[in-house]
């Protein structure tokens, strides 16, 4: 992990409602770098985010649409954002439900662009 990656992740967690931001290896689902506001299950978030992204890649491949650029899992107690983070990496953010979805989305896309 470099200080640049840490800075990028820290920028995402500064957004109100973001509990943690992670850089995750897409194939293994392991945490590469992380920035958490509080004690979060970052290991579990990385594992499941990569798994979901893999499963949903089948959808875009089947329908012959471009690879997934952003995934948002919405639940009653929070949200999980996943975006491509460069070669073999994913950017993942866990947020509360009162977060500004558009702001987090743009921040993750920006983070992906800064790391790539």
Q: Contact positions toward other proteins, by CB under 8 A?
A: 24-25, 27-30, 41, 43-52, 54-56, 58-60, 62-80, 94
- Shortest approach of other proteins to residue 21 CB, angstroms? 14
Provide, rounded to whole angstroms, the least separation between the CB of residue 93 and other proteins. 12
* Cβ closest to other proteins, residue 4 vs residue 63: 63
3-state secondary structure of 29: coil
Helices 101-115 & 3-13, crossing angle to 10 degrees?
A: 170
Compute the distance between CA of residue 22 and CA of residue 9 in angstroms, rounded to an integer: 7
Which one, 7 or 43, has the nearer CB to other proteins? 43
Residue closer to other proteins (CB basis): 14 or 51: 51
Q: Could you tell me whether strands 89-95 and 78-84 are parallel, antiparallel, or unpaired per DSSP bridges? A: antiparallel
């Amino acid at each position: 992990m470099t200080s640049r990656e840490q800075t990028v992740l820290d920028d995402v967690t500064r957004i109100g409602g973001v509990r943690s931001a992670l850089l995750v290896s897409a194939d293994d689902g392991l945490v590469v770098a992380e920035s958490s506001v509080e004690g979060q299950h970052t290991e579990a978030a990385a594992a499941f985010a990569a798994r979901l992204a893999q499963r949903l890649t089948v959808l875009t491949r089947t329908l012959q649409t471009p690879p997934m650029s952003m995934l948002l899992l919405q639940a009653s107690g929070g949200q999980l954002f996943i975006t491509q983070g460069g070669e073999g990496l994913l950017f993942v953010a866990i947020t509360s439900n009162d977060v500004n979805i558009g702001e987090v989305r743009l921040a993750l896309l920006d983070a992906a662009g800064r790391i790539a």
